[in-house]
Amino acid sequence: MDTKDLKMNSIDIEHLDLSQTSSKKPRLLASLKEIIIYAIIFIMCVFVLPRYVIQKTIVDGDSMETTLHDKDRLLLDKLTYQFKNPERFDIIVFYPYGKDVDEYYVKRVIGLPEETVQIIGEDIYINGDKLEENYGKDPITYSGIAEEPLTLGDDEFFLLGDNREISLDSRYEEVGLVHRDMIAGHAIVRIWPFDKFGIVK
């Protein structure tokens, strides 16, 4: 092999090394981008979703029977109510004593802002019309503050538990009318027990 051949081989090796190095760079950048994407997803799941979008919560007590039961696990939609008000018959989670107190209730929306609510006997009246309720509930035996016509403000809601014999709800002065900013979110799905998995209504 002459000197010319050696020089050619040396040049070929240099070109090979450079091409291998340049091909590694895109792979490294792709891997780095993938790691960053997974890190962002992780941060969203751990910090952003539970705070602003969706959250798991546990039913504590029997006040929503027979619709919900003690220790049921629910998924709470925290985003929708940022753009619109709760609707009648929505099941919501709210903080009766303010968001600074770590205690929440699960109840059903009955009266909406600027409506007049009254309970006469076992019946609920909204703006003078009897409310038709098509879900499992106990009869009302206590009217509380709704014994007389009760007009709600522009950000107030009247809430009841489905188990009306024991539910501590808007009929009681201790809870009363619930302001919009006290509502944590809309209970949308029961995820446990598994045999009762499904949309909450």
Give the residue numbers annotated as catalytic, written as ranges. 63, 107
| DSSP labels, 91-143 | EEEE-TT-TTSS--EEEEEEE-TT-EEEEETTEEEETTEEPP--S--PPP---
Q: Which pairs from 42-49 meet CB under 8 Å and 24+ separation?
A: none
Of 156, 82, 149, the C-alpha closest to 113 is 156
C-alpha 47: how far from chain center: 14
| DSSP secondary structure letter of residue 51 | I
129-130/123-126 β-pairing: antiparallel
The phi and psi torsions of 172 (rounded to 5 degrees) equal: -100, 140
Cα four-point dihedral sign 140, 107, 163, 188? positive
Residue for token pair 């190095």:
21
Between the alpha carbon of residue 146 and those of residues 44, 58, 126, 137, 184, the distances in Å are 43, 29, 11, 18, 24
Identity at 184, one-letter amino acid code:
A
